[in-house]
């Protein structure tokens, strides 16, 4: 019989089974969350209990959330290679260097497979999930969206929403699932996000964002951060960004990630909003000068190691976006420049993916969901086109497995 995974609130609390959490019978992942009832609350005080496991760790042959699992901390099994530990723990002082190199949250791109791959390229980078709406977690109970492996740490959960109480609950879910940071999206310009009253449109309502941040900070011990733009529509003066930043600091924000473009909410698509509004790095630099204690991370249009190093002379951290996805080996190059890590051979990175890929295939994951993130690994190298073509043409087939990856690796080798 499936075991209970999560219970939350109300007079008739909803009990979610391991199946509802997306946990297979093989027990490949489990939530690591136990919930306890506070006396005298009439069922409304059921809250996650900390310390029972760390995140959605990989298990061996035990369904997630069962009583036997929850009696002892969950142990994460490494797939291969170096395992990264969480940088921050509750009660530790925030370290500015924790945000020196980060990879942006990108919808449809930075899923758990992508993050695992990126971790092999960069042991130090802080990784971010795709945006997850608070409504999906709290009202939709789609807790499978919190799934991640221990090897991803340090990893942050990005939330979208504008209701303080709901965001607080969602943040608690994320912290109890083991995420090292909860980030609030105040930068996405898409129509779908605007209709839900979150994303970049919230820059017009700094007081509301402040209330959201305060509620989230009260609910969790991990850092609560904000990702925003330098402006939105005609609200484009530096004074507006300054006021927004002051409000965030008053709410307790210690880390602000700033995309150095403003957002046009009408007339431009999300893609155009990443390209057409001009970059204004100086505005972000000024923000850092005027708020020296705030950890400022700059994002937008950063594509080379030299640009990363130049920005780090002016701000605390750099967030790579599309460059890290389309040309992921840049992560290894930046890692070498900033931390002195030896750059791994591209072939070796793929070979280190093998245990992960085979474990996911055994779990029922289609190869195409993993291989799509690997396509840019040989960007600019001889044989890159053949590598991409081999993966693209074969990964969707029902019998696609590790052998396809080996065949794709052979393309650059032949070309070289």
Answer yes or no: do 168 and 148 share one domain. yes
Closest CA to 288 of 297, 280, 279: 297
Q: Give me the number of domains the chain comprises.
A: 3
pLDDT of residue 188: 80
Answer yes or no: do 257 and 273 share one domain. yes
pLDDT of residue 413: 79
Answer yes or no: do 145 and 165 share one domain. yes
Rg from Cα positions in the chain: 21
Residues 280-306, mean pLDDT to the nearest whole number: 97
**Does residue 86 belong to any structural domain of this protein?**
no
Residues 61-79, mean pLDDT to the nearest whole number: 29
Query: What CATH number should be reported for the domain holding residue 251?
Result: 3.20.20.70
**Does residue 82 belong to any structural domain of this protein?**
no
Nearby residues of 81 by Cβ (< 8 Å), 6 or more positions away: 120, 352
Answer yes or no: do 173 and 315 share one domain. yes
Answer yes or no: do 130 and 194 share one domain. yes
Residue 59 predicted with pLDDT over 70 = no
Single out the catalytic residue among 3, 66, 114, 188: 188
User: Given 28, 48, 77, which residue is the final one in a domain?
Assistant: 77
pLDDT of residue 415: 72
**Does residue 385 belong to any structural domain of this protein?**
yes
Asked about 66 being catalytic, the answer comes back as: no
Residue 114 predicted with pLDDT over 90 = yes
Answer yes or no: do 371 and 258 share one domain. no
Answer yes or no: do 44 and 12 share one domain. yes
pLDDT of residue 198: 72
Answer yes or no: do 128 and 191 share one domain. yes
What are the tens digits of pLDDT across the range 134-145?
999 999 988 899
Q: For all residues of the chain together, what is the average pLDDT?
A: 80
Query: What CATH number should be reported for the domain holding residue 389?
Result: 1.20.120.1460
Q: What percent of the chain has pLDDT over 90?
A: 65
pLDDT of residue 23: 29
Answer yes or no: do 66 and 158 share one domain. no
Domain of residue 223, residue span: 96-339
The 10 Å Cβ neighbour count of residue 72 is: 9
Range with the poorest average pLDDT among 54-63, 177-186, 248-257, 381-390? 54-63
pLDDT of residue 77: 31
**Does residue 90 belong to any structural domain of this protein?**
no
Which single residue is written with the structure tokens 């991990």? 222
pLDDT of residue 232: 87
Answer yes or no: do 117 and 52 share one domain. no
Answer yes or no: do 234 and 291 share one domain. yes
**Does residue 137 belong to any structural domain of this protein?**
yes
User: Given 288, 322, 339, which residue is the final one in a domain?
Assistant: 339
Answer yes or no: do 188 and 217 share one domain. yes
């Amino acid at each position: 019989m499936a075991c209970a995974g999560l219970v939350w609130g109300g007079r008739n609390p909803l009990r979610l089974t391991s199946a509802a959490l997306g946990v297979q019978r093989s027990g490949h992942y489990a939530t690591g969350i136990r919930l306890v009832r506070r006396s005298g609350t009439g069922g409304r005080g059921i809250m996650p209990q900390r310390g029972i496991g760390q995140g959605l760790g990989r298990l061996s042959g035990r369904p997630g959330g069962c009583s036997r699992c929850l009696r002892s901390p969950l142990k994460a099994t490494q797939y291969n290679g170096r395992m990264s530990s969480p940088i921050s723990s509750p009660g530790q002082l925030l370290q500015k260097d924790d945000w020196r190199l980060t990879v942006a949250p990108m919808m449809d791109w930075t899923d758990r497979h992508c993050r695992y791959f990126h971790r092999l390229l960069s042991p130090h980078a802080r990784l971010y999930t795709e945006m997850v709406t608070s409504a999906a977690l709290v009202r939709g109970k789609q807790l499978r969206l919190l799934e991640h492996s221990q090897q991803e740490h340090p990893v942050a959960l990005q939330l979208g929403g504008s209701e303080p109480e709901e965001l607080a609950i969602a943040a608690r879910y994320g912290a109890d699932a083991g995420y090292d940071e909860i980030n609030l999206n105040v930068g996405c310009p898409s129509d779908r996000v605007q209709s839900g009253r979150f994303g970049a449109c919230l820059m017009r309502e700094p007081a509301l964002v402040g209330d959201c941040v305060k509620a989230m900070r009260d609910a969790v011990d991990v850092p609560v951060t904000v990702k925003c733009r330098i402006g939105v529509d005609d609200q484009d003066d530096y004074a507006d960004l300054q006021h927004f930043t002051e409000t965030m600091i008053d709410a307790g924000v210690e880390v602000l990630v700033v995309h150095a473009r403003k957002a046009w909410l009408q007339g431009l698509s999300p893609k155009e909003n990443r390209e057409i509004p001009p970059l204004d790095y100086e505005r972000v630099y000024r923000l850092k000068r005027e708020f020296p204690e705030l950890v400022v991370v700059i994002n937008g249009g950063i594509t080379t190691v030299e640009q990363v190093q130049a920005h780090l002379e002016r701000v605390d951290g750099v967030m790579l976006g599309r460059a890290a996805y389309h040309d992921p080996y840049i992560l290894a190059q930046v890692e070498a420049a900033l931390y002195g890590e030896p750059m791994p051979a591209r072939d070796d990175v793929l070979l280190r993916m093998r245990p992960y890929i085979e474990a996911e295939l055994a779990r029922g994951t289609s190869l195409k969901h993993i291989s799509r993130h690997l396509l840019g690994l040989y960007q600019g190298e001889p044989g890159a086109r053949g590598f991409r073509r081999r993966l693209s043409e074969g990964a969707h087939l029902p019998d696609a497995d590790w052998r396809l990856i080996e065949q794709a690796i052979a393309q650059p080798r032949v070309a070289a």
